Amino acid sequence: MTDSSTAGAAHARRDEDILVITLDHPPVNALSADVRRGLADAIQAAQTDPDVRAILLVGAGKNFIAGADIREFGKPPKPPALPDVCNQIEASTKPVVAALHGAALGGGLEVALAAHYRLALASAKLGLPEVNLGLLPGAGGTQRTPRLIGAAAALDLMLSGKHLSADAALRAGLVDTLAEGNDPLTAGLAYTRQLLAEDAGPRRSRDATAALADKAAALAEAAAAGERIAKTLRGLYSPEKIVDAVRAAIEQPFDEGLRTERALFLQCLDSPQRAGLVHAFFAERETAKVPELKEGKARALNKIGVVGGGTMGAGIAVSVLDAGLPVVMVEQDDAALERGRARVAQVYDLLVKKGRITQEERDARLARLTGATTYDALNDADLIIEAVFEDMDVKLAVFAELDRVAKPGAVLATNTSYLDVNRVATATRHPGNVLGLHFFSPANIMKLLEIVVGEQTAPDTVATGFELARKLRKTPVRAGVCDGFIGNRILAVHRQAADMMMEDGASPYDIDAAVREFGYPMGPYQMADLAGGDIGWATRKRRAATRDPALRYVQIPDRLCERGWFGQKTGRGFYLYPDGARVGTPDPEVLAIIDDERRRAGVTPRPFTHEDIQRRYLAAMINEAANVLDQGIALRPSDVDVVFLSGYGFPRHHGGPMHYADSVGLDRVLADIRAYAQEDPAFWKPSPLLVRLAESGRNFASLNQAA
Ligand code: 3HC
Ligand code: NAI
């Protein structure tokens, strides 16, 4: 092979009569300006080079191309634009082949669709995930994809953002052939030679007509997708634009369709939702950058112990078994152990029933679970997660036992929701081995894992927690020790703000509706009914003795709990769930109880608009989040965002509470809090950090950069 040119991050070399263009821009060959320029120059040079008969595109490293360079969004555009580069590839007079491996996503797939032939290796994952970033495929993807695979399949790909395997892509018609092995260069050269031997010339996606031949049927598919998104992707901006772009692909000539796509893409690019979603993308990738990982290395993780087989212990066991690791579960007695095992089996049985896993997979996972009623069974576990009752004395007793049986260097973790991890560590002789691993319910599904670092937790213990998160495919966020860590501490405060609004005149149904309107999948009272009111009630009773008497205490939730109305599981809570219904209906008796409580508290109810509700709810959340940051409980504002996005259903397109606060302006948030403080100065105390930032014209994002 001879080097004919190297340009930026795209190298062009000749292999006999094939020009191989290698995209080489670690880590994922994102299409930044240098890559686009190098690619465009190489394609252009090939057109007039008499020694080149065909062009092969490959990616260096583990991927073909992961898409446009997301870091460039929102900055002044640099030429050449990606749609132009794609058009240039498609216009090539010499056949262009793309050999795909690893990620061929977004703009990466669009480059491949502009090529004339596509081959995929087994490692390839193809997709147009722009919707997850508030965008649409903006380099011809909305026009070429429907022409190749039809409107319905193209819409499915673009609206779901899902990745297709090489096999699935072949079946869909996105690629022409598959190849064995993991070297795209070897496979690509062989395929290109075969095409040359067959005298295959350029074959342009823009000219493909069969998939959209039945215009009326294609338009009906677009209309159906439009109706679906109105229900399932409520409030999102780019899905509608994707449907509009596909309509253009059906109705307009190719070049006009491209212009429509461009206009729609720019509208998405300018939208606040795009900014929020891109923020979320990077925020999630920042959380694993913590100081301890520079100081300590993860210890081995070959066997995991779980103490407690209740709701959380069983869910954690499933999560670990899913990751391929063996689990030892320890319970109090045989009956409790059997219940724990049954909980785990129940999760897998449901997955088999839904066709998500096979019976053999279920059996293999369950075979990795062993159980015991004595702690000695944990003596070869590398990491043990305690998930027993939320009671300090019980936890101290368990940790004393763990200290006795655990092998040297084993990491001991507590899944406590609120309790003091430093105190739990005092029950052991090795507090450096102790940390909090706070999973969220259901633990096998929820992505968030708060990694709670105590005063004495050793860096390699922290690193082991992060390594476990990686193995379990969780999103880890480092938290310091305080009551409730990051998420539950902040939640307690905005839930209190909601309760105060309820007593002051808003119904729980108004509050839930306003919170849903903001983009949450459910409101705080629907959530409380789902989680079970008894959990919060037990916590409130535990804290009753230490409650600050200056703080207002709304008793409405206690009145419901006293009646045994714990939510869905008891058939009523804030809502009624007749006959096991999963969606609740408003309950006039609850409204009557609220009226009684207002009278008892001497409150004259006043109206709240949805906007009033949203502003108070979010102001309380943002203010407490600022305290959490100021006290070093969270490392950076974007970590708080990730906690709320992956653990509490905060609408992703708003980017998280900190990003949202920046987008509305910290002055406005502070002004709201100061106005609310006129009524209730004990609750609405502006966070010192919020005041400092707002008064110096800074925002939370400025702290991300500093972190
Ligand atoms: N642009 C810029 N940086 C990117 C990037 C992109 N498209 N994709 C990934 N990165 C960065 C990540 O931020 C991370 O950086 P860091 O190491 O500094 O934190 C690094 O690459 C590695 O990424 P991951 O940690 O996510 O690595 P994984 O191996 O877990 O996943 C991946 C790889 C599946 C490619 C995943 O990164 C991914 O999904 N990337 C985004 C894909 C995407 O959304 N593409 C569409 C972009 S929009 C577009 O193309 C518009 C076009 O239509 C015009
Ligand atoms: P649970 O009541 O469902 O389960 C607790 C289990 O621990 C029971 O099966 C009990 O038999 C067992 N147990 C008690 N003492 C034991 C001992 N000494 N040795 C072995 N097993 C013992 O409780 P849940 O909901 O699973 O909570 C467990 C922990 O997880 C608590 O600390 C809780 O705060 C925390 N948590 C709970 C969440 C939730 O949503 N339920 C979310 C995140 C954390």
What pLDDT, on the 0 to 100 scale, is given for residue 5?
46
Catalytic one of 90, 110, 292, 624: 110
Residue 332 Cβ < 6 Å to ligand 2? yes
| Paired sense of beta strands 585-586 and 411-414, if any | unpaired
Output the average pLDDT for the chain: 96
pLDDT per residue as tens digits for the range 363-404 = 999 999 999 999 999 999 999 999 999 999 999 999 999 999
Residue 310 Cβ < 6 Å to ligand 2? yes
pLDDT of 669 > 50? The answer is yes
Number of the ligand closest to the Cα of 338: 2
Residue 402 Cβ < 6 Å to ligand 2? no
What pLDDT, on the 0 to 100 scale, is given for residue 406?
98
* CB count in 10 Å sphere of residue 265: 22
What pLDDT, on the 0 to 100 scale, is given for residue 29?
97
What pLDDT, on the 0 to 100 scale, is given for residue 580?
85
For residue 518, how far is its CA from the centre of ligand 1 (angstroms)?
28
Question: Which of 277, 134, 280, 69 shows the shortest CA–CA distance to 704?
Answer: 280
Mean pLDDT calculated for residue range 601-626: 98
What pLDDT, on the 0 to 100 scale, is given for residue 8?
61
| Alpha-carbon dihedral angle through residues 643, 551, 688, 660, given to the nearest 10 degrees | 40
Which atom of ligand 2 has the smallest separation from the CA of 309? 9
What pLDDT, on the 0 to 100 scale, is given for residue 3?
47
Three-state SS for 139-166 is CCHHHHHHHHHCHHHHHHHHHHCCEEEH
Question: What confidence category does residue 516 fall into, taking pLDDT thresholds of 50, 70 and 90?
Answer: very high
Three-state SS for 572-614 is ECCEECHHHCCCCEECHHHHHHHHHHHHHHCCCCCCCCHHHHH
Check if the beta carbon of residue 189 is closer than 8 Å to that of residue 16: no
What pLDDT, on the 0 to 100 scale, is given for residue 707?
64
Number of the ligand closest to the Cα of 306: 2
Residue 693 Cβ < 6 Å to ligand 1? no
Q: pLDDT above 70 covers what percent of the chain?
A: 99
Question: What confidence category does residue 538 fall into, taking pLDDT thresholds of 50, 70 and 90?
Answer: confident
For residue 639, how far is its CA from the centre of ligand 1 (angstroms)?
19
Mean pLDDT calculated for residue range 247-274: 97
Q: How far apart are CA 208 and CA 552, in angstroms?
A: 68
Check if the beta carbon of residue 363 is closer than 8 Å to that of residue 287: no
From 31, 70, 133, mutation site for ligand 1 pocket: most ligand atoms within 8 A of C-beta = 70
pLDDT per residue as tens digits for the range 132-142 = 999 999 999 99
Residue 351 Cβ < 6 Å to ligand 2? no
Check if the beta carbon of residue 524 is closer than 8 Å to that of residue 656: no
Number of the ligand closest to the Cα of 332: 2
Mean pLDDT calculated for residue range 678-707: 93
CA 196 to chain centroid: 44
| Sequence letter at residue 387 | A
For residue 66, how far is its CA from the centre of ligand 1 (angstroms)?
6
Q: How far apart are CA 130 and CA 238, in angstroms?
A: 9
pLDDT per residue as tens digits for the range 38-57 = 999 999 999 999 999 999 99
Residue 461 Cβ < 6 Å to ligand 2? no
470 burial level (CB within 10 Å; 0-12, 13-18, 19+): middle
Contacts by residues 509-515 (CB-CB < 8 Å, ≥ 24 positions apart): 509/586, 510/608, 510/610, 510/613, 511/613, 511/617, 513/610, 514/610, 514/611, 514/613, 514/614, 514/617, 515/613, 515/614, 515/617
Which atom of ligand 2 has the smallest separation from the CA of 336? 11
Residue 83 Cβ < 6 Å to ligand 1? no
Q: Which two tokens stand for residue 87?
A: 């058009």
What pLDDT, on the 0 to 100 scale, is given for residue 550?
87
Q: Can 221 be counted among the known catalytic residues?
A: no
What pLDDT, on the 0 to 100 scale, is given for residue 1?
42
pLDDT of 6 > 50? The answer is no
Q: pLDDT above 90 covers what percent of the chain?
A: 93
Which atom of ligand 1 has the smallest separation from the CA of 137? 53
What pLDDT, on the 0 to 100 scale, is given for residue 4?
44
Q: How far apart are CA 264 and CA 534, in angstroms?
A: 49
Question: What confidence category does residue 230 fall into, taking pLDDT thresholds of 50, 70 and 90?
Answer: confident
Residue 387 Cβ < 6 Å to ligand 2? yes
Question: What confidence category does residue 542 fall into, taking pLDDT thresholds of 50, 70 and 90?
Answer: confident
Q: Can 110 be counted among the known catalytic residues?
A: yes
Q: Which two tokens stand for residue 537?
A: 């009630």
